[in-house]
Amino acid sequence: MTLLSLSGVSFAYAAGKTVLHGIDLAVRDGGNLGIVGESGSGKTTLLKLLLGLERASAGTVSFRGAPLDARDRGFMLGFRRSVQAVFQDPYSSLDPRQRVSDIVAEPLRSLKIGTDIAEAVAQALRDVDLPPDAAGRYPHEFSGGQRQRIAIARAIVARPALIVADEVVSALDLTTRTRIIDLMRALSTRTTFVVVSHDIALVALLCERLVVLEKGRIVEEGATREILARPSHPYTQRLLASTPRMPARG
């Protein structure tokens, strides 16, 4: 089933040049999708369109086959319950004045999900391997990797179909990075990830399919294994040459 799709999508920031050109993309249930490209290629902008945070200048963004319509509150509530995000910086993405229990519970409250909030938070903390007493503490008491676990707990607490992750491990050291990737792989059995990164090797560890962006255009897409084995576009070949080889998934 196609969760999210972009059809002929172009985008320009107000009064700026076009940064995405004619993007066609489908995110399907059950297979992680990686979006890779160099800095400035348009990855974060594409992610904002997938999250409904920006509107396409041309073309259509659809959720479960229906175009996103900001005026349809019921539809948008269903969309937001189904699509959550984790961002790059575990230091700025968590409100320092809130306890972890309130941070993780936030989607349940804002999306009006009727559930036992304390139990759902406790379960989400277990799912990301944080101790139960984390709930009563504040973000500054945690390391970068633990903060990213808190952000992931917040993303999974409402049991979304899809999590969009933007450079989630680039601020972390290598060992912590590996642990967070392992966690995301484990969570992939119940939720689909769209992983945005400049690091093609990292994305290959998590994603069965890849899309390669260059200057706002998709220059290559397909099965990760195929692309790693036989990158057809010179840009993908350069991206691969600049990262150490890692085994592909799937």
Ligand X SMILES: Nc1ncnc2c1ncn2[C@@H]1O[C@H](COP(=O)(O)OP(=O)(O)OP(=O)(O)O)[C@@H](O)[C@H]1O
Comparing C-alpha atoms, which of 97, 46, 50, 52 is closest to residue 77? 52
Q: Is 189 in the site for ligand X (CB under 6 A)?
A: no
**What is the nearest approach in angstroms of ligand X to the Cβ of residue 58?**
16
Site string for ligand X, 109-138 (x = CB under 6 A): ------------------------------
66-67 and 58-63 strand pairing: antiparallel
What is the maximum span of the chain, computed from C-alpha positions, in angstroms?
52
Site membership for ligand X, residue 40 (CB under 6 A) = yes
Among 1, 16, 71, 241, interactor with ligand X by CB under 6 A:
16
Interface positions, 145-164, toward ligand X (CB under 6 A): none
E-strand stretches of the chain: 2-12, 18-28, 33-36, 58-63, 66-67, 83-86, 162-166, 192-197, 209-214, 217-223
Q: Are 44 and 196 in contact (CB under 8 A)?
A: yes
Residue 48 C-beta: closest distance to ligand X, Å? 8
Of the candidates 157, 202, 141, 153, which has an alpha carbon nearest to the alpha carbon of residue 176? 202
- As a whole number of angstroms, the distance between CA 179 and CA 240 comes to 23
Nearer to ligand X, 154 or 198 (CB): 198
Considering only 5, 27, 34, 41, the residue that binds ligand X (CB under 6 A) is 41
DSSP state of 137: S
Q: Is 239 in the site for ligand X (CB under 6 A)?
A: no
Torsions phi, psi for 45 (to 5 deg): -65, -45
Give the binding range for ligand X (CB under 6 A) out of 1-9, 36-44, 64-72, 117-125. 36-44
Of residues 208 and 214, the one with the C-beta less far from ligand X: 214
91 binds ligand X (CB under 6 A): no
User: Residue 207 Cβ, how far from ligand X at the closest point, in Å?
Assistant: 17
Chain residues that interact with ligand X, rule: CB under 6 A: 13, 16, 19, 37, 39-45, 198
